[in-house]
Amino acid sequence: MTSNSCGTSRLAGCQFTLFPMSDKFVDIILGALEEVDTSKVWKDTDDVSTCVRGKMVHVFDVTKALFLHAAKTGEHVAMSGTFSIGCPGDTEADSYMDEADAPVNETKLNELYRKAGCKFSLYPMGRADYMEAIYEQIDLSKHRNVEVSADHYATRLDGDVKAIFEALHQSFDSVQEKVSHVTMSFTISANSPSNKA
Ligand SMILES: Cc1ncc(C[n+]2csc(CCO)c2C)c(N)n1
């Protein structure tokens, strides 16, 4: 019988792609990957995307740092991806689950501020009551540092990049406390010539 339950490791991960709208795209992508400390996550980059896996705190630390380092170039950059936690069978990054919890990229990001717009969607898996799981657990009103608005199939967040990733992290974390397998898709964009502001 195939097991539909999730492991106890609570391994998290994110598969994402950076899209620099610039002819310097190679330098922006590889520069950001170079500048970010990825020692606390399993990482694989190919021609389509990058996947990072490990403790949730480090997965968010790395994805936030990568986007911010790409956005600080001032070029219009977007990033799209999917976070996942509790995926049955996702165990190969278990060695990274022993890492200490302190995020390693935060100090470097201290002085970096950049406005961005983001849309995200939560998918609590294997639940008939998935809509309640979404409504009950996304308490985004707590995030006073970001502007939150409803959109079709997604929630929109506007504000500083770090505050946006904190809001994503909190929403994802609160859903995964109740639902074993959760995925969350997102697209974030900075320095767009068509910014709302
Ligand atoms: C986060 C992230 N990882 C990988 C790619 C794929 N990619 C497209 S161009 C390029 C540099 C030259 O090989 C790479 C790695 C991406 N876009 N964003």
Q: Report the CATH number that the domain containing residue 78 is assigned in CATH.
A: 3.30.70.930
44 touches ligand 1 (CB under 6 Å): no
167-193 confidence digits (pLDDT tens): 999 999 999 998 999 999 999 999 999
> At which residue do the structure tokens 């890492």 appear?
99
77-115 confidence digits (pLDDT tens): 999 999 999 998 888 778 898 888 999 999 999 999 999
Phi, psi of 77, deg, nearest 5: -125, 145
5 pLDDT band (50/70/90 cuts)? Answer: very low
Q: Give, for 172, the enclosing helix (H) or strand (E).
A: helix 161-178
> At which residue do the structure tokens 């990733």 appear?
165
Q: Is 50 annotated as a binding residue?
A: yes
Domain annotation covers residue 94: no
Q: Give, for 120, the enclosing helix (H) or strand (E).
A: strand 115-124
18 touches ligand 1 (CB under 6 Å): yes
102 touches ligand 1 (CB under 6 Å): no
50 touches ligand 1 (CB under 6 Å): yes
ipTM: 0.87
Domain annotation covers residue 97: no
Residue 138 has pLDDT above 80, yes or no: no
**Cα 48 to ligand 1 centroid, rounded to whole Å:** 6
137 pLDDT band (50/70/90 cuts)? Answer: low
Question: What letter would DSSP give residue 143?
Answer: -
Q: Is 18 annotated as a binding residue?
A: yes
Domain span holding position 81: 12-85+112-190
If one counts the domains in the chain, the total is 1
**Cα 157 to ligand 1 centroid, rounded to whole Å:** 25
**Cα 75 to ligand 1 centroid, rounded to whole Å:** 16
Domain annotation covers residue 160: yes
Domain annotation covers residue 42: yes
Domain annotation covers residue 104: no
Domain annotation covers residue 152: yes
Strand partners, 12: 54, 85
Please give the model's pTM, rounded to 2 decimal places: 0.91
Residue 197 has a pLDDT of 47
